[in-house]
Structure 1
Amino acid sequence: MAVLYVGLTIGLYLLFRELYRRVKHPLLSPVATSGLVLILLLSNLDVPYSTYMAGGQWIDKLLGPAVVAFAYPMYYHRKLIRKNWVPLLGGVSMAVLVTFTVVFSWANFLGLQSKIFRTLLPESVTTPIAMDLSRQLGGIPSLTAIMVVFAGMCGAVLGPLLYRWIRVDHPLGRGVGFGSASHGVGTAQAMEEGEIVGAISTVSMTLTAMVTAGVSLWALEFV
């Protein structure tokens, strides 16, 4: 059964990736559509998460190498990145500031507990770092992971639509947006738009994790 679930996951992704290539609509992002269909199938078939992960763990283990593979376009376009390091760092810093402001505002408006606030702070950071950071901040790592995945999916699906609406066409702006708001999932979508957007997104994802980790402890003083 483990092989069946792995095959089902890969098959669904390839199917929706082909559909995305033909239709090219942001709402058909293969990461989001294949994941949603897989969840619905497993839920209707009453397949426990632990049963699926007996085979799905092998796909999960490829997350690390997949993130490392993002380094290739980043290295290839290193001159462009060095040339634009000021707007890159500025864009990432602004993104982190906006994230903290929104989380802090909603936490106060809804009267959320301090533990929930600490859980939400790393929601724009890639999953492995976000869970570890949540744990160090005193949050709930499993809930943080859910919010990270949600943020990534929203960015990958709605990001291109938002860019089209506000007319952001520059690779630097699109890359910073994907990487700083939607981490790995957004970067995968950025790669669909071209190597330059993907490279900028990769750098932004890394910088966002570093800036978020550095500023989080300071932000907790206002809770």
Structure 2
Amino acid sequence: MRCFVALIFLMASGVVVANEKLFCEFAVGELSSSPALLIKGNANVMFDGKSFTAYRTDGSYIVSPPLTEKKDGMIFVDDKTKVFAASQDKSNFAVSDRIKKTIEQWSKCEVDKASAQQKQAEDEMRVVESLSGTKAKDFFMKEKHAFTTNCLVWEDVTMITGRYPAMVIAGSVMMGKNPRWDGREYSFSFNNGSMVARFVPSEPRHKFVMQAGDKFYGCGPSMVDHNYD
């Protein structure tokens, strides 16, 4: 009971949001009804809405079973040796250990912004990869979208689609001509017709290639660039 009371003391209420990497303050203390916790530093928690993986500052981690019970604004599970709990607003997580007589808390949790931005970028590219038929043709030929790719020779370059295609290389904008979609590849010429931008959305990683005469310059993975929206 003391283990459960300690967790109730620490938890807050809210709404569960799934599949997120959280950045938290990690602390430990002795198990009691009003535990005094020693802050160890910052650590991450991975939470899918049902269970969590909580990392400690030394790199070790603990994985909770599914949190199947609800009480006082938190979800939890008691496996007889430990109680795992999470506040429903995903701001606090705790594990109390009856055997070791310790409690660990991950508090003040916030969404890891870098991780969230990376996930958003990957999700956007998955949508692009799924395009086909008329939707793909309209997307590239009629709609303005920008894709930035790192090309070793020119560093980051940006391809802009739509009715007025363009390439942005080293800060210079070169308007494109003769855009076309052949059912698999989007392309247009630029730099006074001496170069061609080629983009194959179905390619898993290296979608973008620049062609100059009979030479092809491969580039890295492409990402949607909202700076040109």
Report the TM-score, using the length of structure 1 for normalisation: 0.23
Of Structure 1 and Structure 2, which has the larger fraction of its residues in strand?
2
Pick 1 or 2: higher relative contact order, CA cutoff 8 A, min separation 6: 1
Report the TM-score, using the length of structure 2 for normalisation: 0.23
